[in-house]
Chains A and B, each alone.
Chain A
Amino acid sequence: MEQPYIYILDPYPQQAPEQTRLYPFFQFLRDGRLTTSRCKKCGTLPWPPRVVCPECMSDELEWADLPREGKIYVYTVQETGLPPGYDPPVVFAVIDLANGVRLLSVIEDSEISEIKNGADVELIVKKVPQDRVMPAFRLKR
C-alpha cells in the first residue's frame, strides 16, 4: 500500500484496515452511524472504542450503535491560536449522547450565536484530509 508520508504523521486518525483494528468504526461513520465497542462479557460501552475492554480485559467485543443525538454540556469557541491546518472559529463541545455516553467533538454547520449549553445536537459526518471521516455535530434541525 503506497501512502504519502504526511498520511502517517498528520493529526487525523489512521482509518484503513491495514492500519487499525477499529476500521469498522470509520466505515459505519461513512454510513451515518456512530458506534463504539461493547464488551460481550460485562456490557461496558467505553468511549473511545477499544480492542480490549478496560473494565474486565475481555477482548470479545462487538460494535454497538450510539444515539445520533445528544446535548451540549459545555462548549468553547476558539478564535485564534489554532494549530496550522485548522481554520478559526472552531467550536469545541462536550456532548452527552442520549444514553449518557460522553464525547468531545466539534459543532459545525450551525449559527455560532445560537449555540448554547444544553442545546440539542445531531451527528454529522465531517470529511478530513485523505478521504477520511470524523464524527461532528450540528444544532438539531
Chain B
Amino acid sequence: MRRVALIAAGLTRFGIRQATYRELIQEAGKAAFDSNKNVSPKDIEGFVLSSVFPERSAFQSHVACLAAESLGVRPRKLFGRVENMCGSGIVAIRTAYTAIVTGLADLVMVVGAEKMNVPVPTEAALNMITGLDRDWEGSYGLAAPPMFALSAQAHAAKYGTNEEQLSMVSVKNHNHSKNNPYAHFQKGSTMEQVMCSRMISTPLRLFHCSTMSDGAAAAIFASEERAKGLTDKPIFITGTAQAAHGYAVANFHRDLSHWPALKEAANDAYAMAGIGPDDIDFAELHDCFSIAEIIAYEELGFCEKGEGGKFIEQGLSDYGGKVVVNPRGGLIGCGHPLGATGVAHATEIFLQMRGEAGPRQVPGAKIALSHTNSGPGEHHILIFEKGF
C-alpha cells in the first residue's frame, strides 16, 4: 500500500475573530504554504474542505470552490467538501489519505474552516442544534452541552466520576493553551475558577465546555514518493479508522457512559498501525467537554474502563505522565471552530514531531493519535508516526 505523508501545516489564531470565513481560509492556507516552501498552490492536485455550517454562519454554500479559488489552487484529481459535524476535519484528512493511497492523487491539500460567531451571538447556539437530530431531539433545544452532560451523568452514576475530576481536565487544557499563541484562551485557569464557573448543563460548567471560536487550519499530504522531493521531515499516517453507531441520542449505546464506537475505531486504527495504546507519545483528543476527554482515555485504552477520572487525577495525561493529552490546549483551551478542529490536530502533530512546539514541546514525540467525535456515537481516528 502507498504510504501517505503530512508535509506542511498551519493555522489561524482561534477566537472571536474580526475576520470573515474566506479570510480565515486564506490565513490558514498561507500558513500551510509558509511551512514548506517547496510546495506552491499550483502544485496541489487535490483539495478537500472541511466545514460544517457556512450556509448558516457565512450565508455561503459551494465553499470548496470558494476556498480553492481563494488560495490559488486548481484541483483536478480530487475536489470536494466534507461535513460530519465536529469530526469533519479528520474525515477530510481521511478523504485525502484515501485518494493518495489509491493513486488517484499524489499531493492533496486539506483545509478546515468555521465561522462560529455571528452578528446575533445567540444564533450560534441555534446553529449548533442543526448538528443533532433536529426534528426529534434538537427541537427541544438540545445542543451539544446537554447531550454530553447526559454522558457525564451516566458516567458519574456508574463510576463515580466527580466534578473535581471533570475540572482537572479543564485546568490541564487551559494550562496547556497558555503556551499556545493560537489558542482562544491563553490565561490558564484554576480549580476554583472552574468549579465556581456558571452552570451550563448539570454537571457541566462553563469551563468544562469548549467554546464558539472562529478559525481555520490547513495541512498538505503527499504520497511517499512525492514527499521525498518536498521535505526531509515526512510524518506518515500509519493508522486510521472510523465508526458510527447512532445519530439520535435515543439510538446511542444504551449505556451512555460507554462509547463502543470509539473503542471499535481505536482498535481498528491500532491494528492497522501495528501498535497499541501504550505506544502513543501524545494525543490530540476531542475534549469538546471535559467528560469527553475522560471517556476517550478509557475507550482508547489509556486506562481501564471507568478509571478515566483517576487517570486525570493522577496526572497521567499530562507532561511526565503516561501520554500527554492535548498539548496545544485541546478544544477547551483552543476553542472549537467545528470544521477546523481535526485539521488543527494535524497542525499540532506537525509541529510536535518536528520539535517546533516551543514551550509545549512533548519530549521525544514519535507517535501521535488524533481523535475527533461527532457526538458520543460517532468517532474518527488518525495515527501519525515521525518518518525521520
Chain A contact residues, CB within 8 Å of chain B: 11-13, 47-48, 73-86, 90, 92, 94, 102-106, 117, 128, 134
Starting from the known contacts A81-B145, A104-B248, 15 additional A-B residue pairs (CB-CB under 8 Å) come to: A11-B139, A13-B135, A47-B250, A48-B133, A48-B135, A73-B154, A78-B202, A79-B202, A80-B199, A81-B125, A83-B128, A83-B129, A90-B141, A92-B149, A104-B250
Interface of chain B residues 120 through 178 with chain A (CB within 8 A): 120, 122-123, 125-126, 128-129, 133-143, 145-146, 149-150, 152-154, 157
**Binary contact track B220-252/A, C-beta < 8 Å → 1, others 0:** 000000000000000000000000000011110
A97 to B140, CA, bound (A): 19
Report if B187 contacts A (CB, 8 A): no
Contact between B201 and A78, CB atoms less than 8 A apart: yes
Chain A residues near B271: list those with CB within 8 A.
none
Contact between B199 and A48, CB atoms less than 8 A apart: no
Specify which of B146, B199, B254 is in contact with A92 (CB 8 Å cutoff).
Answer: B146
Report if B200 contacts A (CB, 8 A): yes
Contact between A76 and B149, CB atoms less than 8 A apart: yes
Chain B residues near A74: list those with CB within 8 A.
150, 153-154, 157, 256
14 inter-chain pairs at a CB distance below 8 angstroms, sorted by A residue, are: A47-B248, A75-B153, A76-B153, A76-B201, A77-B202, A78-B149, A79-B198, A84-B123, A92-B201, A102-B250, A104-B142, A104-B250, A105-B140, A106-B141
Specify which of B125, B140, B150, B201 is in contact with A134 (CB 8 Å cutoff).
Answer: B140
Size band of the interface chain B makes with A: 35 or more
| Distance from A11 Cβ to chain B, minimum over Cβ atoms (Å) | 5
| Distance from A92 Cβ to chain B, minimum over Cβ atoms (Å) | 5
Chain A residues near B154: list those with CB within 8 A.
73-74
| Distance from B143 Cβ to chain A, minimum over Cβ atoms (Å) | 6
Specify which of B126, B141, B198, B251 is in contact with A80 (CB 8 Å cutoff).
Answer: B198
Contact between A83 and B146, CB atoms less than 8 A apart: no
A81 to B148, CA, bound (A): 14
**Chain B residue nearest in CB terms to A54:** B251
Q: Report how many A-B pairs have Cβ atoms within 8 Å.
A: 114
Contact between B200 and A103, CB atoms less than 8 A apart: no
A104 to B137, CA, bound (A): 6
Contact between A76 and B150, CB atoms less than 8 A apart: yes
| Distance from B33 Cβ to chain A, minimum over Cβ atoms (Å) | 38
Contact between A13 and B136, CB atoms less than 8 A apart: yes
Chain A residues near B198: list those with CB within 8 A.
79-80
| Distance from B56 Cβ to chain A, minimum over Cβ atoms (Å) | 10
Contact between A83 and B141, CB atoms less than 8 A apart: yes
Chain B residues near A82: list those with CB within 8 A.
125, 141, 143
| Distance from B7 Cβ to chain A, minimum over Cβ atoms (Å) | 40
Q: Which 6 A-B pairs have the closest CB atoms?
A: A86-B141, A76-B149, A78-B201, A83-B125, A74-B153, A84-B122
With A11-B138, A48-B136, A117-B153: A81-B250 Cβ-Cβ less than 8 Å:
no
**Binary contact track B331-348/A, C-beta < 8 Å → 1, others 0:** 000000000000000000
Chain B residues near A102: list those with CB within 8 A.
250-251, 254
Chain A residues near B125: list those with CB within 8 A.
81-84
Contact between A106 and B140, CB atoms less than 8 A apart: yes
Chain B residues near A104: list those with CB within 8 A.
136-137, 140, 142, 248-250
Contact between B143 and A83, CB atoms less than 8 A apart: yes
Chain B residues near A75: list those with CB within 8 A.
150, 153
Contact between B250 and A92, CB atoms less than 8 A apart: no
With A76-B201, A76-B202, A83-B129: A128-B139 Cβ-Cβ less than 8 Å:
yes
A135 to B306, CA, bound (A): 34
Chain B residues near A117: list those with CB within 8 A.
153, 157
| Distance from B342 Cβ to chain A, minimum over Cβ atoms (Å) | 24
| Distance from A14 Cβ to chain B, minimum over Cβ atoms (Å) | 8
**Chain A residue nearest in CB terms to B135:** A13
A59 to B198, CA, bound (A): 48
Interface of chain B residues 197 through 214 with chain A (CB within 8 A): 198-204, 206, 209
**Chain A residue nearest in CB terms to B247:** A48
Contact between B201 and A81, CB atoms less than 8 A apart: yes
